[in-house]
Structure 1
Amino acid sequence: MARHSEQAMKLVVLDRDGTLNEDRDDFIKSADEWVPLPGALQAVAQLNHAGWHVVLATNQSGLGRGLFDMATMNAVQAKLNQLLTREGGRIDAVFFCPHVPDDGCDCRKPLPGLFRQIGERFGVDMKGVPVVGDSLRDLQAGAAVGCEPHLVRTGKSARLTDDEVQALAAQVPGTVVHADLAAFAAHWLEREKRAKAAAGAKG
């Protein structure tokens, strides 16, 4: 029964590398290598201030590959939290897959295991929850549990042409494309504002 009473919780799921911070082909192996994208932390804070809870769903196969350990992962998260606090924002939880592709887990995106974990942890139906990422697998993982897909043209998608971005988005029906996380936040909050205004007009 609790599931229904908590379902009103406003939740946004973000990818990390390439969406919130600069991506690296050689993995982010230290806190020093973690660099936020312009406007990304402010976007999280804006969502928070509007009542949205923000969680991360991130593949971190560098753990499984032995490129860094949990202490490093925690140090990166501590840096993220510290910088975000300065902006008045927060990340409510981090869900990550430490496995390498050959491990056969169900939590490595594009599989939806992380998103199922999020739904269970927060007691929410993931249908309609926005998922924001820079790659096809982010969108596929979220869409598998009914999330609303949003692609940002940063990270991996920054390397794509307009046609390639449209082709990628077409693989996950309903995908909305944004320049970056700040553009997503502006779009999402404006949409919420319009929905409230429409509901008020009907009332």
Structure 2
Amino acid sequence: MSRKAVFLDRDGVINEVLTERVKFVNRPEHLHFLPGVPEAIKKLNESGLFELIAVVTNQGGVGLGYLKEDMLENIHEHMVSELKKEDAIIHEVACCTHKPKEGCACRKPGSLMIEELAEKHDIDLASSYMVGDREPDIQAGQNAGTKLVFIGDDLDGVDAVYPNLAEAVDWIIEDAKEQ
């Protein structure tokens, strides 16, 4: 049986961004989960189908000087610990902190973050899922060879489209069972 993972974008999939309450997440207290996210991640954990639930996120604000690396680590520690209180486990968080146009391989649509996590955890990318709300997220999953779940209205060339993570997880679990 192949080892599967779910790779989740952060902003717009897990937490609010560009809402009335939050413009950017620059402090732990700015991180507000989108409705149903802790329950959705818990469902993925409890399915027993996935070796790895990971967040892969571009955080160019660090490279641009809007956010310090230690504050980003605090934000991610806060996110993981708040989810854990709801029995929702994120195993790893990978982030690209380079400037948006720096040309690195890790910044989505590059797939290096996904590929490195897959290698570290012996994950079969073809049996895994990338969930994102922007085209670079989907392109990163495509470049890595994962199945593609778009959170939003519509996008061509993806395996599934749902308005939010809470609604997407049932499809992900059912699809993973069929493999």
| One-letter amino acid of the structure 2 residue matched with residue 114 of structure 1 | M
1:179 alignment partner in structure 2: 163
2:28 alignment partner in structure 1: 31
2:64 alignment partner in structure 1: 65
| 8 Å Cα contact 2:6-2:130 kept in structure 1 | yes
* 1:14 corresponds to which of 1, 5, 8: 8
Alignment of 1:15-164 (within 5 A): 15-24=9-18, 26-51=23-48, 52=50, 53-153=52-152
| One-letter amino acid of the structure 1 residue matched with residue 37 of structure 2 | A
Q: Percent identity?
A: 29
Give the 3 Å change call, closer, same or farther, for CA 135–30 of structure 1 in structure 2. Answer: same
Q: Give the drift of 1:102.
A: 2.6
| 8 Å Cα contact 1:27-1:62 kept in structure 2 | no
What is the DSSP-based 3-state SS (H/G/I as helix, E as strand, rest coil) of the residue aligned with 2:115?
A: helix
Q: Give TM-score, length-normalised by structure 1.
A: 0.79
Q: Give the drift of 1:86.
A: 1.6
Distance 2:23 2:33 in 1: 17
The total of aligned residue pairs comes to 174
Q: Give the drift of 1:68.
A: 1.2
Q: Give the gaps of 5 or more residues in structure 1.
A: 1-6, 154-164, 197-203
Distance 1:88 1:26 in 2: 28
Worse overlay, 120-129 or 131-140: 120-129
Give the 3 Å change call, closer, same or farther, for CA 63–190 of structure 1 in structure 2. Answer: same
Deviations 1:54-97 (A, max 9, x none): 10110000110111112211211122122211211111111110
| 8 Å Cα contact 1:21-1:36 kept in structure 2 | yes
Q: Give the gaps of 5 or more residues in structure 2.
A: none
| One-letter amino acid of the structure 2 residue matched with residue 89 of structure 1 | A
Larger Rg: 1
Q: Give the drift of 1:50.
A: 1.0
- The two structures, once aligned, show a CA RMSD in angstroms of 1.8
| 8 Å Cα contact 1:112-1:144 kept in structure 2 | yes
2:173 alignment partner in structure 1: 189
What is the DSSP-based 3-state SS (H/G/I as helix, E as strand, rest coil) of the residue aligned with 1:101?
A: coil
Deviations 1:155-203 (A, max 9, x none): xxxxxxxxxx43xx21xx243101210111122223445x38xxxxxxx
Distance 2:110 2:3 in 1: 24
| One-letter amino acid of the structure 1 residue matched with residue 105 of structure 2 | D
Distance 1:134 1:11 in 2: 18
